[in-house]
Amino acid sequence: MEKVLDEKTLKQDALDVLKNNDLGKSTKPAPQLYPHQWSWDSAFIAIGLSHSNPSRALTELETLFDAQWKDGRVPHIVFNPNTKDYFPGPDRWNCAALSPAAPEKPATSGLIQPPIHAFAVKTVFDVAPELKDRVRALYPKLVRWHKYCLTERDPEKMGLITIYHPWESGTDNSPRWDSPLKGVKVGEVPPYTRRDTKHVNDPSERPSNEEYDRFLWLVECLKKDHYDDAKLYKTYPFLVKDALMTSIFTLSNHALIELAKQLDAPKEEVQMLEGWQKRAVDGLLEHSWNRQKMLALDLDMERGGAQVDVSTCAGLSPIVVPRLPAEIATKIKEQMFSDKFAGWSDLKFRVIPSTTPGTAGFHPRAYWRGPSWPVISWLYWIGLRQNGFEKEAKELRQQNLDLLEQPEAKFGEYFELTKGTQLGSADQSWTAAVALDWLAS
């Protein structure tokens, strides 16, 4: 067996990945597959960079928030004008022409991704209090972002964030979306050429052409309604309350409340943030948490808010909810290390599968349908520690580091479960970033 990398080498390699993917004021998620700035990737990247260069870490988020829309949404992609090698690019989204809320420049997509940014800003601020003025300047933008999530994306006031597209979830091809997507009748999609499949070893690790047609049809529907939330809510064919997105919101919103206090924000504003926190936590526990399955499930709003019954890593997401009731935290921890997830007997490393092996929609190599994403293990490592499960957190960290220390792991985007083989892109920024945070902890 080939010798594994030592931690010092792993750290240097991780720093090199981030340096090579650095676009100046933001970082691309991967050298070729993802050549622009992605929203939640940048938050993880900032956390990874916080240990070596907190100022650059904050720049990452400042650049992202410079592209914030007037309605508060933070776009899932901010386009890098120096590359054309990505589809769908700025012309296909056409946001500035279609929506008065979109910035003229930079060009962005019209979707969102999980709001982990306030948590990242707080992480950077904790290690670099001297950045207070810059954090103060970002703070109101974070408040507007959270407001967007819990108003425009939750007109029912259920406390759960609605997504319009699997790309918003960050877990694009998860079986979570199979049933809601079935209800979408695909119309005429303008012609296009995929570029993503040429940047991976095996195109079957990426979504299929049929799935891509569906994704692009949804983009056409968003454009027809000018990315206007009120209109979309009436006519749009894919409205799903996302459990993972909402759990992440509570983690981040809790950090935002702490930031508000540190920055002496007005009392009423702190109370408003606390109100959102309560609403989101209650929403998750009342509507999404399924006691029998011991998983948080998404709600399909096109089917009267029915829970989508699948077993994926998103189901474990309430572990990141601050002040989660101990009884639920224990159930999630047990579930996480059961044979459905990190305790599955065929795993080479005891990391968290994106979908429970053998269940509906599972595929050992396909996108979000089985393989493990280190970034998800990292998120749940945070959650385990937050709930006092130190032993399990330590073990999860070590197993992920063992996986990443294989010389052929190369900071993969995701990994096959039984052999630990690297899949998707190599040199993925957020994988390097979470490795840096694990190594620093």
Catalytic residues: 172, 413
Cα–Cα distance for residue pair 146/92, rounded to 1 Å: 27
Evaluate the CA torsion angle 288, 226, 69, 92 in order and state its sign: positive
Cα–Cα distance for residue pair 157/251, rounded to 1 Å: 19
For residues 356-391, one letter each, b for 16 or more C-beta atoms within 10 angstroms of the residue's C-beta and e for the rest, the string is bbeeebbbbbbbbbbbbbbbbbbbbbbbbbbbebee
Between residues 205 and 392, which has the closer beta carbon with respect to ligand 9WN?
Answer: 205
Which range in 32-40, 197-205, 227-235, 303-311 contacts ligand 9WN by CB under 6 A? Answer: 32-40
Which range in 13-21, 38-46, 230-238, 327-335 contacts ligand 9WN by CB under 6 A? Answer: 38-46
Which range in 2-10, 165-173, 228-236, 324-332 contacts ligand 9WN by CB under 6 A? Answer: 165-173
Q: How far is the CB of 174 from ligand 9WN (least distance, A)?
A: 9
The torsion angles phi and psi of 99, rounded to 5 degrees, stand at: -130, 130
> Which DSSP category does 287 fall into?
I
Task: Select from 119, 148, 164, 167 the one that contacts ligand 9WN (CB under 6 A).
Answer: 167
Q: Is 213 in the site for ligand 9WN (CB under 6 A)?
A: no
Q: Is 411 in the site for ligand 9WN (CB under 6 A)?
A: no
For residues 305 to 344, the per-residue mask of contacts with ligand 9WN, x marking binding by CB under 6 A and - elsewhere, is ----------------------------------------
Between residues 76 and 176, which has the closer beta carbon with respect to ligand 9WN?
Answer: 76
Sort 439 into a burial class: Cβ within 10 Å, 0-12 / 13-18 / 19+: middle
For 54, how many CA atoms within 13 A lie in the half-sphere containing its CB? 16
Q: Is 170 in the site for ligand 9WN (CB under 6 A)?
A: yes
Q: Is 415 in the site for ligand 9WN (CB under 6 A)?
A: no
Q: Residue 220: which region, alpha, beta or left (left: phi > 0; alpha: psi -120 to 50)? A: alpha
Cβ distance 387 to 381 under 8 Å?
A: no
Radius of gyration, CA atoms only, the chain: 20
Q: Is 40 in the site for ligand 9WN (CB under 6 A)?
A: yes
Q: How far is the CB of 345 from ligand 9WN (least distance, A)?
A: 28
Task: Select from 34, 380, 415, 438 the one that contacts ligand 9WN (CB under 6 A).
Answer: 34
Task: Select from 10, 15, 41, 110 the one that contacts ligand 9WN (CB under 6 A).
Answer: 41
Which range in 9-17, 37-45, 55-63, 149-157 contacts ligand 9WN by CB under 6 A? Answer: 37-45
* CA-wise closest residue to 336 among 286, 287, 282, 296: 296
Q: Is 172 in the site for ligand 9WN (CB under 6 A)?
A: yes
Q: Is 168 in the site for ligand 9WN (CB under 6 A)?
A: no
Q: How far is the CB of 285 from ligand 9WN (least distance, A)?
A: 25
Cβ distance 154 to 160 under 8 Å?
A: yes
The structure tokens listed for 434 are: 């979470």
Q: Is 44 in the site for ligand 9WN (CB under 6 A)?
A: no
* CA-wise closest residue to 255 among 429, 138, 352, 113: 138
Q: How far is the CB of 178 from ligand 9WN (least distance, A)?
A: 16
Size of the site for ligand 9WN (CB under 6 A): 11
Cα–Cα distance for residue pair 43/133, rounded to 1 Å: 19
Q: By CB under 6 A, name the binding residues for ligand 9WN.
A: 29, 34, 38, 40-41, 76, 113, 167, 170, 172, 196
